[in-house]
Homo-oligomer: A and B are copies of this chain.
Amino acid sequence: MFQTAELGIKVSKKEFKLRELALRESLLELQQRLRQEGQFPVIVDFAGVRGAGKGTSTNFLNKWMDNRWIVTHAYSEPTDEERARPTFWRFWRRLPPRGQLGIFLSGRYSRPLLDYVYENIGQDEFRHQLDRINNFEKALADDGALVLKFWMHISQEVQHKRLKALEKDPLRSWRMSSIDWKHYEMYDRFIDAAEQIIAHTNTGHAPWEIVEGEDLHYRSLRVGEELQMMLERHLTKEPIRQKYLADMREQVHQKVIEAQAGEGAGNRAMTILDGLDFSLALDKKDYREQLAACQARLVRLHQSAAARNSSTVLVFEGPDAAGKGGVIRRITEPLDARYFKVFPFAAPTDAELAHHYLWRFWNCIGRAGRMGIFDRSWYGRVLVERVERFAGDDEWRRAFAEINDFEDQLIEHGIVLLKFWLQISKEEQLRRFKEREETPYKRWKLSDEDWRNRERWDDYATAAHEMIQQTSVMKSPWVLVESENKAYARIKVLRTVCDALEHRLENRSQGGGD
């Protein structure tokens, strides 16, 4: 694999100056086009051997282009903040918005590489981490991103010369550390790991380019010209792809409408929500007693969890007026406000729309020991976005896998993840809507959108049924909550949260995330 990058190719200073000029002009123009027409972000990664030019290449790209529209980030050891969250948080938070470039050094491939070379992890875990990276890159590419990865390579012999020269240079020797010679000795193991990385993660949508790093001029031009070519290609491809997706969504939608009309409609499919028992209720006295007891229990458990750095994520979904707000208030009322946060989600902002739909949720993942409460969530992708056709057929279908991967990362990090679906009958919703209309201090809660959503009741039920089918797993099940009676619903949720926390605290001597 790497013998193709040990040819000793050189570019003279004169040729470099000439080609640099043309390249720079072209890159600047492409960057302008990217900002104006390019509805996608560009993600450039540098990985590879020490001394092969990751740093200088990054500097050249920043110099050649307008770096106000470039996010450059060199990863080193994770910060406190990063360690306290699932691994990929540090990658999601740095992603550039559409129209801009992100350049990353020693990013997502660095940790798996070192862990494998140092034998902290075995082959299987190595592969598992590479699969996670594949999922991450696939999600971004499916969303339109240009993902480009450079593996900077030099032979062991060249590396030897580099390190010797560095050692002798009084101005640069501070950049050397004992680890450099240690890694030099481990050259073969690095190459073996690098081969596996490239073979396993070199996909059509996120390709690796192996760059011979011996000659400064050659490697810099190679990186710049490759970026130029790929950017040109993507700026050509992406509008065609967007149009294709739009055409396809429209035509598939037409087919669905035709098919429904043909079937004589009316045949509403039975969903799991139809089986709920809406007669479940609690009287006032029982409710008050149980509420007090549950809240007291929750306070204790929440404190222990915080002390043990054990995080919790609670997700609430369900039809309008099903009582999500009331349930959330009963949970947060007694808690120490420093250790929880409520995230209410409405339509995404412009800044959020400039990113992958999961981005805004990743940004809400709190540090270890916190409780994050999501009033609506990433499930919007397969609920409102599906029903209202903000997401195409292709987008919501693949969202199930994306969501499962996302949640899997939360769980793997040790987070207790609970998902509640609050359900009321259609009649009860009408009653609550009317009550809101009639009660001055509740009127703000009701919008035209609520009435519109109500008209799509059956579509939402179908979407919810499929969502539960695809994303309710043993490690993180959907809890269906019969919410016709608010008191019953609140106690059921509080109990479930307490039980889950208790179970976690009993079964772990240590909290996750550190």
Contact = CB atoms under 8 A, between A and B. Distances in A.
Interface stretch (A2-10, A351-359, A496-504): A2-10
A397 B233 CA distance: 13
Q: Chain A interface secondary structure, helix, strand, loop or mixed?
A: helix
A4 B401 contact: no
A185 interface: no
Nearest to A264: B22
A112 to B, nearest CB: 14
A115 interface: no
Nearest to A210: B469
Interface string A212-245: 0000000000000000010011001100110110
A255 interface: yes
Given A124-B125, A125-B124, A232 B255 contact: yes
A495 interface: no
A435 interface: no
Contact of A473 (B1, B7, B400, B408): B1
Given A233-B252, A244-B241, A473-B199, A398 B7 contact: no
A202 interface: yes
A400 B195 contact: no
A401 B203 contact: yes
Interface stretch (A270-278, A368-376, A448-456): A270-278
Contacts of A208: 470
Interface in A1-50: 1, 3-5, 7, 9, 22
A272 to B, nearest CB: 5
Interface string A252-277: 10011001000100000011101100
A348 interface: no
User: For the side of the interface on A, what is the size category?
Assistant: 35 or more
A425 interface: no
A204 interface: yes
A57 B391 CA distance: 32
B237 A241 contact: no
A470 B5 CA distance: 11
A7 B275 contact: yes
A335 to B, nearest CB: 31
A274 B263 CA distance: 66
Contacts of A4: 271-272, 465, 468-469, 472
A127 B469 CA distance: 21
Nearest to A237: B248
B232 A240 contact: no
A307 to B, nearest CB: 31
A288 interface: no
A270 B9 contact: yes
A232 B254 CA distance: 11
A252 B236 contact: yes
Contact of A470 (B202, B233, B263): B202
A203 B208 CA distance: 24
A180 interface: no
Contacts of A275: 7
Contact of A233 (B203, B255, B270): B255
Contacts of A474: 192, 195
Given A401-B203, A470-B202, A7 B248 contact: no
Contacts of A241: 244, 248
Interface in A195-212: 195, 198-200, 202-205, 207-208, 210
Given A124-B128, A232-B255, A237-B252, A7 B274 contact: yes
A510 interface: no
A240 B236 contact: no
Contacts of A332: none
A404 B202 CA distance: 10
Interface string A376-407: 00000000000000000110011011001000
A297 B401 CA distance: 53
A21 to B, nearest CB: 13
Contacts of A3: 272, 468, 472
A22 B4 CA distance: 61
B229 A259 contact: yes
A202 B400 contact: yes
A81 interface: no
- Nearest 4 A/B pairs, CB to CB: A204-B398, A124-B124, A244-B244, A4-B469
Given A131-B131, A236-B251, A243-B244, 11 more contacts: A4-B272, A7-B271, A7-B274, A9-B270, A124-B124, A199-B404, A202-B401, A204-B397, A205-B398, A236-B248, A240-B247
18 contacts: A1-B468, A1-B472, A3-B272, A3-B468, A7-B271, A7-B274, A124-B124, A124-B128, A195-B474, A199-B408, A202-B401, A202-B404, A204-B394, A204-B401, A236-B251, A240-B247, A241-B248, A243-B244
